[in-house]
Chain A
Amino acid sequence: MTEEIIIAGFGGQGVLSMGKIMIHSAVMQDLEVSWMPSYGPEMRGGTANVTVIVSTERISSPILRQFDTAIILNQQSLDKFEGSVKQGGTLIYDTNGITRHPERKDISVYSIDAVEEAGKMNNPKIFNMIVLGGYLKIKPIIKTENVVKGLQESLPERYHHLIPLNQQAIERGMEIIRKVSES
């Protein structure tokens, strides 16, 4: 099993953190992982993205142009990465602020209103965890219990009291993700 993922959105949305939590969780299942961020100007505002690879095999190239799954959190990233999803692959996007929706017919498209849901849950910061939950519903490569362990590993201890809230967000994400079209 190899899953090659791009997560892309605005800097500050928790794009890089979401990837970090994924790899920390995957390591709990003895999987091989790599996490390759965009760095530099993107981090100083504008778009941010990270390539995450999770595999049962040793990982060769950490840098890719084609992905099994794209998790898209803003319009710029949709424009940039819609074409990079492999044929038959998966695209998950948050509809918030999207004016041009995905057009490809050869991939499976899912939407998740995570920004809106995070607002309802009174905590915009858990937005990325709602998205992660949605992703794990579609691609259950990592068990939720391992994500909780991954959170324990990747979050500083002073934030550990927020883990139950994050878990709730993941579960909510699993409930609200919906299919737009299938390849």
Chain B
Amino acid sequence: MERELRLMKGNEAVAEAAIRAGADGYFGYPITPQSEILEYLMGANPMETTGMVVLQAESEVAAINMVYGGAGCGKKVMTSSSSPGISLKQEGITYIAGSELPCLIVNVVRGGPGLGTIQPAQSDYFQAVKGGGHGDYHLIVLAPASVQEMADFVDLGFELAFKYRNPVMMLSDGAIGQMMEKVWLSPQKERSKTVPEWATTGKPPTRERNIITSLELNPDNQEKFNQKLVEKYNRIRENEVRFEEFQCSDADYLLVAYGTSARICQKSVQLARGEGLKVGLLRPITLFPFPSKRLSELAEKVSLMISVEMSAGQMVEDVLLSVNGKVPVYHYGRMGGIVPTPDEVVAFLKSKIIGG
């Protein structure tokens, strides 16, 4: 079957892609700017076509625990929310990570802290990449920069989640969630008929009982489990780094940006090149694992880097760690739901070039 071209909002693309990816269940609770995901799924009513469950839970906490349960049964399950709602889900997320279960969590980020604003922001980077919940764990974090990627990363997210038995977060923002663009949708996949061997769906006489838990009171065993997780995260670091380079080959200066900021920085690169400044852009697609190795290589070639984020400066810390002092690294950001403009970024770059 051929892919189908549609014009959709990023949020709608996530919802449609979830149905087409053969997801078994979506559990959510409405919050701006991502309510269209739940709204679209309710309207599409995939129970009638693929048999996918779509449920508006009584709260974000309930929704993530429904995901925990569905994932424990080996099902392809997901939830979505925006920043304050994702904070509420953190207990469930760390339990899912601690139980090594696959699921997809979509965060269409809005400005914070607290209830903050409903406008787009990228201020949940730390929460997504550095933990969010308690304990030594990582999510695999995918950062879409287009409506197309919001659709594509649903399928990719499920694939990685099952490959590593690890929760995956799609870290989007209000701008990509709300904007409409062309999107090529994949053909409908069938829902899986098989159950993974670790799933808790009842004990047959042929094998031992499957146990899913994040509790281990024996410190030796818990440490072994922690080490197993570390090995898994290292495998992910080794195999799953994804990024896109934009005019980096001859760049003297490098912008580093993901999501909406990366779209803006593409335009900044064009503007700056028009003025004779050789600027490139590295766009991390996975935020964990982070493209540290590539940034370290580029640090040998460029004279400065600027991390452009809609935050007070979060990803900039990972850029600093990656280049390890080889070149100066600056942060440029806007907050509170304000999206930086391409010319603002160029002006900041120029001030740093002149300022040395």
Whether chains A and B associate is yes
Chain A positions near chain B (C-beta within 8 angstroms): 20, 23-24, 27, 32-37, 39-41, 59-65, 153-154
A61 in contact with B264 (CB, 8 Å): yes
List chain A residues, Cβ under 8 A from B78: none
Which of A41, A61, A62: most chain B CB closer than 10 A? A61
Number of interface residues of B (CB under 8 A): 23
Contact A63 to B341, CB < 8 A, known contacts A23-B180, A33-B182, A39-B33: yes
Q: Which of A32, A35, A41, A60 meets B180, CB within 8 Å?
A: A35
- Looking at the assembled complex, report how far the CB atom of A130 sits from the nearest CB atom of chain B, in whole angstroms: 23
Asked whether B130 is an interface residue with its Cβ less than 8 Å from the other chain, the reply is no
- Looking at the assembled complex, report how far the CB atom of B213 sits from the nearest CB atom of chain A, in whole angstroms: 41
Contact A40 to B118, CB < 8 A, known contacts A23-B7, A34-B180: yes
The 10 closest A-B pairs by CB, nearest first: A60-B266, A35-B180, A60-B267, A61-B267, A61-B264, A36-B179, A40-B118, A65-B341, A63-B339, A39-B178
Nearest chain A residue, comparing its CB with the CB of B340: A63
Over the window 163-182 of chain B, the binary record of Cβ atoms lying under 8 Å from chain A Cβ atoms (1 yes, 0 no) is 00000000000110011111
- Looking at the assembled complex, report how far the CB atom of B27 sits from the nearest CB atom of chain A, in whole angstroms: 24
Q: Which of A24, A63, A65, A154 meets B260, CB within 8 Å?
A: A63
Asked whether B237 is an interface residue with its Cβ less than 8 Å from the other chain, the reply is no
Nearest chain A residue, comparing its CB with the CB of B36: A39
B182 in contact with A61 (CB, 8 Å): no
Asked whether B119 is an interface residue with its Cβ less than 8 Å from the other chain, the reply is yes
List chain B residues, Cβ under 8 A from A24: 7
Nearest chain A residue, comparing its CB with the CB of B281: A60
- Looking at the assembled complex, report how far the CB atom of A157 sits from the nearest CB atom of chain B, in whole angstroms: 15
Q: Which of A20, A37, A60, A65 meets B263, CB within 8 Å?
A: A60
A39 in contact with B32 (CB, 8 Å): yes
> How far apart are the CA atoms of A20 and B5 in the complex, in Å?
16
Asked whether B342 is an interface residue with its Cβ less than 8 Å from the other chain, the reply is yes
Contact A63 to B175, CB < 8 A, known contacts A27-B7, A39-B118, A40-B32: yes
Nearest chain A residue, comparing its CB with the CB of B33: A39
Which of A23, A34, A36, A62: most chain B CB closer than 10 A? A62
B119 in contact with A40 (CB, 8 Å): yes
List chain A residues, Cβ under 8 A from B33: 39-40
Over the window 111-147 of chain B, the binary record of Cβ atoms lying under 8 Å from chain A Cβ atoms (1 yes, 0 no) is 0000000110000000000000000000000000000
Asked whether B322 is an interface residue with its Cβ less than 8 Å from the other chain, the reply is no
- Looking at the assembled complex, report how far the CB atom of B330 sits from the nearest CB atom of chain A, in whole angstroms: 20
- Looking at the assembled complex, report how far the CB atom of B280 sits from the nearest CB atom of chain A, in whole angstroms: 14
Asked whether B270 is an interface residue with its Cβ less than 8 Å from the other chain, the reply is yes
- Looking at the assembled complex, report how far the CB atom of B264 sits from the nearest CB atom of chain A, in whole angstroms: 4
Q: Which of B258-273 contact A (CB under 8 A)?
A: 260, 263-264, 266-267, 270
